[in-house]
Structure 1
Amino acid sequence: MVDAAPHSVLSVGATLGEGPVWVARDAALWFVDIKGHRIHRFDPALGVGRSWITPEQVGWIVPTDDGLFAVGLQSGVHRFDPADNGFTRLHAPEAHLPGNRQNDACVAPDGALWFGSMDDAEEATSGYFYRIHRGACVESGLPPVSITNGPALSPDGRILYHTDTLGKRIWRTELDVDGTVGNTTLFARIEDDAGYPDGPTVDAEGCLWTGLFGGWAVRRYDPAGMLMREIRFPVANITKIAFGGDGLSTAYATTARKGLDMTALTQQPLAGDLFAFDPGVSALPGHVATI
């Protein structure tokens, strides 16, 4: 059984933990430390973790249909083989933007990989969303922001949720069956004293969860954008959650030490750890990318 209150399950002290994803084929949770240049794997059955060093900042990791992984390094999308810690570049959509890096990703029901970029200095409005499917990488057509987060998809894959972190807004965009973006509306706005909306995730009921960086919490919103629940954490920077474990009924949350001074770190000794809690809801099985 998993406690209802968030508790640390893996002490990694990540500078910027991000991108948790449950990989069913090895019954493990994978996530990254962007600034620490690390890929992490957590085996909940054994309670142990393993790490790999990345050659650049790494924004996300997702499983692929060949049994390996795709990862978002600063220089582009790479195939990753954990067996030999090998990286092979597949796409470099922002070779003309060397100040950008990748930040978050998700996989659609059709195997398409959606991911976002951002200005590493967190200043320029140069973050875009992209889609890769069966070898083709295209820019989504969504407007640029400074820090993208998400995207996340509704259970049927027809609604794309994407976050403008510095703007404190989560947007809802309709998708055609071929991935073409349609009408975009505001889904939720985060109030000034609640932190910044970070990575979004959608549960089996179609409700959206978002981490709050600097907000000490995660939130759950219904499909209409109404706040349903807030779960408080003992650390300030919660970046994203993913559902995993038996029945996909455990919520795992990545956190970050980034931006915390020595006083804050003394008060938050678990900052940067991987947390788990019982969310009272499950998720649908995840998808593997066809890239």
Structure 2
Amino acid sequence: MAPLGLALGEGALWLERDAFGGPAFWCVDILGCRIWRFDPATDTALSWAAPAMPGFVAPLPDGCFVAGLPDGLHRFDPRDGSFSLICTVEADRPGNRLNDAHVDSRGRLWFGSMNLAETAPTGALYLAEGLVAGAPVPRRVDDGYVVTNGPATSPDGAVLYHADSAHQVIYAFDRHDDGRLEGRRVFVRLDQGYPDGLAVDVEGHVWAGIWAGGRVMRFAPDGRVSAVQTIPVDNVTKLAFGGPDRRTAWVTTARKGSSAPLAGGIFTFPLDVPGLAQNILA
């Protein structure tokens, strides 16, 4: 456990090699406006101030990241801490911010937006392509969310999973090669807690951090619960598959809304089944 004290930890990802030589665990503290790197080999952490709330970071081939800030997508260089705007997103929805993302096997960025007040269905799901080449134009592929979370894809890429956390539901979509989504359906609906960030393992099971639930849950492709891991914190947000064999879960949590002594820490636990590798933007 790494006691980072994150106000709202999110965006968990594991890189086998990063700008500092890696491997390392990366995440964001949305409310703390910081990006974090934790090196398990030395048990040390680095962090960088972000100019506004970072919803996620997604890795680029050169060691930099695409960071989702409230006004759009930015290039973040951890070597000097600089941020530069790539493109604006949702200039017409000033009551929103970006929240959570996923890089698919083709190097495309799937990301969501959410309502800052967490009351109105003004959030949406987006797809951005060609981030390495130049100026992307994010495409809105689904709409009407209050709090979007965790886009993730099945091992074969045919299914995309996405949560509307406020409504306690994870949706599944049929995903086409060109990025089109069809057949939105309820994959999982929770009675207790709220599904937050998502990740998929090599067997196609979906892992979800459960906000106000103190646990991580694993769901089979048919939606049944296949495993539950308790975490000693109320608000569990997301996990990444780390370690040399991707058999260690790295879990982000939040101090927001929690009185648990360990809230805001990073937790780990072993896995029987490895997760899918972190993809790099193309």
TM-score strictly above 0.5: yes
Aligned residue for 1:257? 255
Q: What SS class does the counterpart of residue 58 from structure 1 fall into? A: coil
The aligned length equals 274
Q: Distance in 2 between matches of 1:236 and 1:250?
A: 21
- Compare relative contact order (CA 8 Å, sep 6+) and give the higher one, 1 or 2: 1
Structure 1 alignment gaps of length 5 or more: 1-7
Q: In 1, distance between residues paired with 2:68 and 2:274? A: 27
Q: Which residue number corresponds to residue 25 of structure 2?
A: 29
> Could you give the per-residue CA deviations for residues 30-70 of structure 1, whole angstroms, max 9, x where no partner exists?
00000000100011111111111101000001111233111
Q: Distance in 1 between matches of 2:144 and 2:87?
A: 19
Superposition CA RMSD, Å:
1.1
Q: Please report how far the alpha carbon of residue 104 of structure 1 lies from its aligned counterpart in structure 2 after TM superposition.
A: 0.2
Identity of aligned residues (%): 43
Task: List per-residue Cα deviations over 1:171-230 (Å, max 9, x = no partner).
Answer: 000111111112111100001xx2111111101111000011010111000011111111
Residue by residue, what CA displacement relative to the aligned partner does 1:76-130 show, whole Å, maximum 9, x if unpaired?
Answer: 1100001111001112121121221111000010100000000111111111111
Whether the 8 Å contact between 1:128 and 1:139 is mirrored in structure 2 is: no
Q: How far apart, in 1, do the equivalents of 2:165 and 2:139 lie?
A: 19
Unaligned runs of 5+ in 2: none
> Retained in 2: the 8 A contact 1:208–1:223?
yes
Give the letter aligned to residue 187 of structure 1. F
1:280 Cα shift?
A: 1.8
> Residues 130 and 137 of structure 1 are in contact (CA less than 8 Å); yes or no, is this contact kept in structure 2?
no
The alpha carbon displacement at 1:139 in A equals: 2.9
CA distance in 1, matches of 2:155, 2:49: 33
Q: Find the partner of 1:206 among 204, 207, 210.
A: 204
Q: Map 1:169-248; keep pairs closer than 5 Å.
A: 169-191=169-191, 194-248=192-246
SS in 1 for 2:245: helix
Show the 5 A alignment for 1:15-164.
Answer: 15-25=7-17, 26-134=22-130, 135-164=135-164
TM-score, structure 2 as length reference: 0.95
Shift of residue 286, structure 1, vs aligned partner: 1.7
> Residue 284 of structure 1: which of 268, 276, 279 is its match?
276
Q: Which runs of 4+ in 1 moved over 2 A?
A: 135-141
Deviation of residue 284 (structure 1)?
2.4
Once residues 257 and 160 of structure 2 are traced to their aligned partners in structure 1, the CA distance between those partners, rounded to angstroms, is 29
- How far apart are the structure 1 equivalents of 2:162 and 2:197? 9
CA distance in 2, matches of 1:212, 1:287: 24
The CA distance in 2 between the partners of 1:128 and 1:56, in whole Å, is 20
